Structure 1
Amino acid sequence: MKENNLLDRIFNFSVDTLKFLRTLPLNDELKVIKYQLIKSSTSVGANYEESQGASSKADFNNKIRIVLREARESNYWLRIISALDYKSDKLQTLLQESKELKNIFGAILLKGNKEG
């Protein structure tokens, strides 16, 4: 149940990020940021889904390492949007969720490295 919960949580993070990006204005600076954030936030879920079918512990850890990297990148782009003064409650929620996801995947990776 815990894993399904995490799968749902990651899926919702991706969808919520996409919906949030629709609310931002169209300009040159945000065009690049939106593109990068779309790629990283959806990659978190796609790579975590892949990790669930990993062929070995090493493969699983490698995929989780990618997930963590993408979660960190998503957090970075969200922080950039915030620093550019596009502040909202939704942005704050996404920032908090991205921090929590980074912590979760960091802990999973740490645990996997200790076991392996």
Structure 2
Amino acid sequence: MMNEELRMESKNVLKDKSFTFSICIVELYKRLSEDKEFVMSKQLLRSGTAVGALIREAEFAQSRPDFISKLSIALKEASESYYWLELLHQTNYIGADRFRIYSEQNHELISMLVASIKTSKLKLNK
């Protein structure tokens, strides 16, 4: 049931965009590691890749509340990812152009997650 909903609501766009975001985060982590930045980049790697993993988990949720819970946790991880991106930018580890690209991807995921959660909550309350 939830698997079909996620596919129908987003046509896999959310899943695809979160996977693309994860790839970008892994690439950024590798570059930052070469620059000897390990603490913030590791936090970003963890939260940035968790978004897609949680969306994948939500596909096979056991119930609508479980589906909403998984997407809500993905939303929290996306928000945390933005924090680390902003901190890396403000401390000059990533430039303005890269920050803009990553934060646009991140904000798009956040918007899509918020919409999916709202839709699922409306369906839950019917």
TM-score by length of structure 2 reads: 0.82
Alpha-carbon distance between aligned partners in 1 of 2:54 and 2:31, rounded to the nearest angstrom: 26
Runs of 4+ in 1 over 4 A off after TM superposition: none
Corresponding residue of 2:45: 38
Extract unaligned runs of 5+ from structure 2.
1-6
Corresponding residue of 2:65: 58
Alpha-carbon distance between aligned partners in 2 of 1:43 and 1:49, rounded to the nearest angstrom: 10
CA contact (8 A) 1:20 1:91 kept: no
Alpha-carbon distance between aligned partners in 1 of 2:68 and 2:12, rounded to the nearest angstrom: 18
The alpha-carbon deviation at position 8 of structure 1 amounts to 1.6
Match of 2:101 among 88, 93, 97: 93
- C-alpha deviations, 1:76-107, integer Å up to 9, x for none? 11111111123142332111110111111111
Alpha-carbon distance between aligned partners in 1 of 2:11 and 2:50, rounded to the nearest angstrom: 17
Corresponding residue of 1:47: 54
TM-score by length of structure 1 reads: 0.88
Extract unaligned runs of 5+ from structure 1.
none
Report whether the alignment pairs 1:113 with 2:125: no
- C-alpha deviations, 1:38-83, integer Å up to 9, x for none? 1101110111000000111111001111110111111111111111
**Percent of aligned pairs with the same residue?**
30
Corresponding residue of 1:102: 110
C-alpha root-mean-square deviation of aligned residues, in Å? Answer: 1.5
Q: How many residues align?
A: 113
Alpha-carbon distance between aligned partners in 2 of 1:81 and 1:48, rounded to the nearest angstrom: 25
Alpha-carbon distance between aligned partners in 1 of 2:71 and 2:14, rounded to the nearest angstrom: 13
CA contact (8 A) 1:20 1:90 kept: no
